[in-house]
Amino acid sequence: MPAVSKGDGMRGLAVFISDIRNCKSKEAEIKRINKELANIRSKFKGDKALDGYSKKKYVCKLLFIFLLGHDIDFGHMEAVNLLSSNRYTEKQIGYLFISVLVNSNSELIRLINNAIKNDLASRNPTFMGLALHCIANVGSREMAEAFAGEIPKILVAGDTMDSVKQSAALCLLRLYRTSPDFVPMGDWTSRVVHLLNDQHLGVVTAATSLITTLAQKNPEEFKTSVSLAVSRLSRIVTSASTDLQDYTYYFVPAPWLSVKLLRLLQCYPPPEDAAVRGRLTECLETILNKAQEPPKSKKVQHSNAKNAVLFEAISLIIHHDSEPNLLVRACNQLGQFLQHRETNLRYLALESMCTLASSEFSHEAVKTHIETVINALKTERDVSVRQRAVDLLYAMCDRSNAQQIVAEMLNYLETADYSIREEIVLKVAILAEKYAVDYTWYVDTILNLIRIAGDYVSEEVWYRVIQIVINRDDVQGYAAKTVFEALQAPACHENLVKVGGYILGEFGNLIAGDPRSSPLIQFNLLHSKFHLCSVPTRALLLSTYIKFVNLFPEIKTTIQDVLRSDSQLKNADVELQQRAVEYLRLSTIASTDILATVLEEMPPFPERESSILAKLKKKKGPGTVTDLEEIKKERNSDVNGGTESTPVNASTVSTPSPSADLLGLGAAPLTSSAPPPSSTGSLLVDVFSDSASVVAPLAPGSEDNFARFVCKNNGVLFENQLLQIGLKSEFRQNLGRMFIFYGNKTSTQFLNFTPTLICSDELQSSLNLQTKPVDPTVDGGAQVQQVVNIECISDFMEAPILNIQFRYGGTFQNISVKLPITLNKFFQPTEMASQDFFQRWKQLSNPQQEMQNIFKAKHPMDTEITKAKIIGFGSALLEEVDPNPANFVGAGIIHTKTTQIGCLLRLEPNLQAQMYRLTLRTSKETVSQRLCELLSEQF
């Protein structure tokens, strides 16, 4: 940029600014400004033509006055005239005035555009830079319409200087963000990608920002950028800090460019080219390795730059979710930050580990840090860090640590900040239900939750505990005894009174045999809380009293006296008064049989959507396409609940709530009034129309994606430039539930969106699938969800096909993928001692019961990854059973509706030969064959 000469100091402007600063009052300042405005106006209107210096000085004064908050209604034309000057400083002031004061509706916009066009065509890099900066600063639709077609040409022209390329890239980025419809995609898109190879790192940095934004909306146009970004990233991370001196920041080479390149790569799935993928893996490993090196400087700028690159690399590793070694290493690196003295690092580490907890391969590594996270929950001063610790405990929870985590969250709840108490309550309630092996523990936990944070226990939570108690006979007596004891406390929260009233009204007879909880004592205990409760709770207690009349005839008179009292019959609240009158009359005139019929025990609640989960999701915000990444945040777990589903024509079912019922306690049983689909070679469960179009062949990569889901339940099943399909599924015994998320990655609506499940006749007889419909219109950038209920009737070999048909921009789209519903999903792990295992192994010695496969290792032979895959496959991993400690053995039971099939497996690795021998023994030949096929593909 040209140097400013001494003559450009504008002494008159300096004097004016000094005068303004020396004003003692607001009135004095206004007086001085008005005097100056009058002087400038007379100069502009005078007969004597002003030279460029004077115009520049007066325009600067007007600009300063405007920035002080005063209106400026003249001088615009003089500023536009400065644009035609050949002096840099005059042109600069003209552009500055226009950027700040001229709006897009100004009559001068055409003159301004002509001046900008002249500067862009001048090929003078300084003038071109000023013009591009002005376009970017104004960024109006008029500017976009006038110059969006011209700027890409400047950007990719071979003779454009580096500084101008930088400005052009950032200017185009600004216009695309404000007016994307005016930025045409064309030949320049393929050429702009090659700017990633430019020798000037400033150009590469600006181009990366532009390409990243463009690729988010047009991924197919810029997919070639992946290999170039990996190549450039590789050169940066492997370079010494002295190699890139101009772009090295506190011994970290080009940290901003590295971060931008890593973000660009997050717009795409893992590279398909093995060489590119290997090079990217090397880059990520190098970044992780550098994080372990001693710092080259003690200054905070060094650690900030180094950690910025590291966290972005970890985000990319999580996004790809395909390299087990990297995922585990990333987890270990984040674990070191959990006790770092820097609060921001601890926050970011907790946040990233929440996402890592979703991966099949890093979940166990995340769990090793549970004590550190619990300690953070107790000792952190910053509430935002404590909230992330709660989120991480929730994400890492599974059957092995559920009781510990729930206990710690309950302990923290007593001192937790008010802003996060309701969210913690919801999470504790979900975890307690999701991982409850012993439902007495679940009841104790929820009652403790109400005791500790009753004001934050929403209706959904106490509704839920009542639903579960009513639906489970084995816990009803314990629940009645526990709430009875809890109600004896001098001060009870009203929510506890509601739960106690409901449960004792239904199951109080189960504890009435104990003299300490006789019918009269139960009634007196509840009635002692009556006057302290709100109207809705009193109404519930009156219903409990009439239930007692049926359960305990011996206290009928006592209850009738209460119902007959003036405080009830003449109550000011009409609801209480009506209940008292009707219940008293019912108890008086109804016979015992009629009373027993009217007041019989509540039937089990129909399975319906978990309102607790719905509430938690509502607190977290509405679903968007980015929620597809949250599929990876929910780890596969063996959940409670799960119901038998009846096949149904999906077109007869109303659209479900967007909240997912992960616990299998959801919508009422579905019935179908439509005839079943005809069997003509396949079962078509057509969600929207009576007849399906021709089914497309399987999408490229479908088989590979299918194989990835054999040992995991959650992730992205399919992705192209238009559509992303994510899965989240859960299985228990012979039942399963799968949530399919369809994400529209474009800004245009999908019309006639029709997902269809296709099963062969043979598969139809072995697998029972029930679907719920999705909206036929999917808005741009939105996500819709479809639920599939699954029942395994008998063992099967094939997998269903998911066919998706829709119209995008008038073009018919037809996509088919294999849905990963495989036989091993119905595994239940079985723990066995060494003696029991080999005794059973010998019993399954018939040739028809054994299937063996010797094969070459396709992936690195890592012990921890192999263990994770066997556990993910569904069987229990039996430690210290095989005489050879290098071998892996597992056991489990395949559950189908018709039978249960015991399965034993043995995997023998040969590290020298890089080979495996896999042996499956089950009581059924086809099961051995299928499980052997599925598991062999994983190693």
What CATH number did the domain enclosing 752 receive? 2.60.40.1230
CATH classification at residue 469:
1.25.10
Say if residue 761 is in the same domain as residue 904: no
Q: Using only C-alpha atoms, what is the Rg of the chain?
A: 35
Say if residue 747 is in the same domain as residue 879: no
Instruction: Tell me if 519 sits within 8 A of 554, measured CB to CB.
Output: yes
Q: In whole angstroms, give the CA distance from residue 451 to residue 276.
A: 57
3-state secondary structure of 307: helix
Lowest mean pLDDT among 215-224, 373-382, 692-701: 692-701
User: Where a domain ends, among 551, 582, 599?
Assistant: 599
Say if residue 783 is in the same domain as residue 838: no
Mean pLDDT of 490-503: 89
* Torsional class of 299: left (φ above 0), alpha (ψ -120 to 50), beta (otherwise): beta
Mean pLDDT of 454-479: 85
Residue 669 in this model has a pLDDT that exceeds 70: no
Give every CB contact of residue 754 below 8 A, 6+ residues apart in sequence.
Answer: 686, 687, 688, 689, 692, 776, 804, 805, 806
Distances (CA, A) of 897 to 425, 434, 640: 37, 23, 18
Say if residue 878 is in the same domain as residue 768: no
Q: Which phi and psi (to 5°) does residue 598 adopt?
A: -65, -40
Instruction: Note the pTM of the prediction, 2 decimals.
Output: 0.61
When pLDDT is cut at 50, 70 and 90, the band that residue 899 belongs to is: confident
When pLDDT is cut at 50, 70 and 90, the band that residue 447 belongs to is: confident
When pLDDT is cut at 50, 70 and 90, the band that residue 217 belongs to is: confident
Residue that wins the pLDDT comparison between 465 and 48 = 465
What is the distance of C-alpha 487 from the center of its chain? 40
Residue that wins the pLDDT comparison between 121 and 880 = 121
Q: Is 497 inside any structural domain? A: yes
User: Where a domain ends, among 561, 583, 599?
Assistant: 599
Q: Which phi and psi (to 5°) does residue 159 adopt?
A: -95, 5
Mean pLDDT of 736-753: 86
pLDDT tens digits for 267-310?
A: 988 888 889 999 999 999 999 998 888 888 888 888 899 989 99
Say if residue 466 is in the same domain as residue 573: yes
> How many secondary structure helices (H) and strands (E) does the chain include?
39, 17
Q: In whole angstroms, give the CA distance from residue 539 to residue 477.
A: 24
3-state secondary structure of 65: helix
pLDDT tens digits for 305-362?
A: 998 999 999 999 988 888 888 888 888 888 888 888 888 899 999 998 888 887 777 8
Instruction: Tell me if 524 sits within 8 A of 550, measured CB to CB.
Output: no
Q: What is the mean pLDDT of the chain?
A: 82
Residue 656 in this model has a pLDDT that exceeds 80: no
Q: State the pLDDT at residue 751.
A: 86
Say if residue 733 is in the same domain as residue 799: yes
Q: Hey, what are 368's tokens?
A: 């090793």
Give every CB contact of residue 11 below 8 A, 6+ residues apart in sequence.
Answer: none
Cα torsion angle, 447, 451, 454, 456, sign: negative
Q: Is 908 inside any structural domain? A: yes
Residue 679 in this model has a pLDDT that exceeds 60: no
Amino acid symbol at 726: G
When pLDDT is cut at 50, 70 and 90, the band that residue 243 belongs to is: low
Residue 870 in this model has a pLDDT that exceeds 50: yes
Instruction: Please report, rounded to a whole number, the percentage of residues in the chain having pLDDT higher than 70.
Output: 89
Q: State the pLDDT at residue 421.
A: 86
Q: State the pLDDT at residue 105.
A: 63
Say if residue 594 is in the same domain as residue 707: no
Q: Is 556 inside any structural domain? A: yes
Residue that wins the pLDDT comparison between 326 and 659 = 326
Element (H, E) at 805: strand 801-808
Segments forming the whole domain that contains residue 794: 702-820
pLDDT tens digits for 534-586?
A: 999 999 999 999 999 888 889 989 999 998 888 888 888 899 999 999 999 99
Lowest mean pLDDT among 195-204, 508-517, 641-650, 723-732: 641-650
| Strand residue runs (E) in 825-914 | 827-829, 850-856, 876-878, 888-895, 900-910
What is the distance of C-alpha 658 from the center of its chain? 14
Q: Is 153 inside any structural domain? A: no
Mean pLDDT of 457-479: 85
Q: State the pLDDT at residue 641.
A: 38
When pLDDT is cut at 50, 70 and 90, the band that residue 607 belongs to is: low
Say if residue 547 is in the same domain as residue 408: yes
Q: Is 335 inside any structural domain? A: no
Say if residue 492 is in the same domain as residue 541: yes
Annotate 460-512 with DSSP letters as a single string.
Answer: HHHHHHHHHHHH-HHHHHHHHHHHHHHHTSSS--HHHHHHHHHHHHHHGGGTT
Strands 915-922 and 850-856: antiparallel
The half-sphere exposure of 933 on its side-chain side, counting CA atoms within 13 A, is 11
Mean pLDDT of 687-698: 52
pLDDT tens digits for 750-787?
A: 888 889 888 888 888 888 888 878 888 888 888 888 88
Lowest mean pLDDT among 206-215, 626-635, 661-670: 661-670
Which residues are annotated binding-site positions? 11-12, 43, 53, 57-61
Cα torsion angle, 8, 9, 15, 20, sign: positive
Q: Is 34 inside any structural domain? A: no
When pLDDT is cut at 50, 70 and 90, the band that residue 660 belongs to is: very low
pLDDT tens digits for 584-596?
A: 999 888 888 888 8
Q: Is 855 inside any structural domain? A: yes
When pLDDT is cut at 50, 70 and 90, the band that residue 9 belongs to is: low
Say if residue 750 is in the same domain as residue 809: yes
Say if residue 813 is in the same domain as residue 837: no
pLDDT tens digits for 158-176?
A: 888 989 999 999 999 998 8
Residue 483 in this model has a pLDDT that exceeds 80: yes
User: Where a domain ends, among 599, 615, 639?
Assistant: 599
Residue that wins the pLDDT comparison between 481 and 651 = 481
Q: State the pLDDT at residue 672.
A: 32
Residue 917 in this model has a pLDDT that exceeds 80: yes
Domains in the chain, number: 3
Q: In whole angstroms, give the CA distance from residue 462 to residue 447.
A: 9
Q: In whole angstroms, give the CA distance from residue 408 to residue 448.
A: 13
Q: State the pLDDT at residue 661.
A: 35
Mean pLDDT of 709-724: 85
Helical spans, DSSP H, in 122-200: 125-138, 141-147, 151-156, 162-178, 188-193
Q: Is 495 inside any structural domain? A: yes
Residue 7 in this model has a pLDDT that exceeds 70: no
Say if residue 878 is in the same domain as residue 748: no
Lowest mean pLDDT among 376-385, 509-518, 604-613, 831-840: 604-613
Residue that wins the pLDDT comparison between 617 and 18 = 18
pLDDT tens digits for 389-440?
A: 999 999 888 888 889 999 999 988 888 888 888 888 888 988 988 888 788 8
CATH classification at residue 848:
3.30.310.10
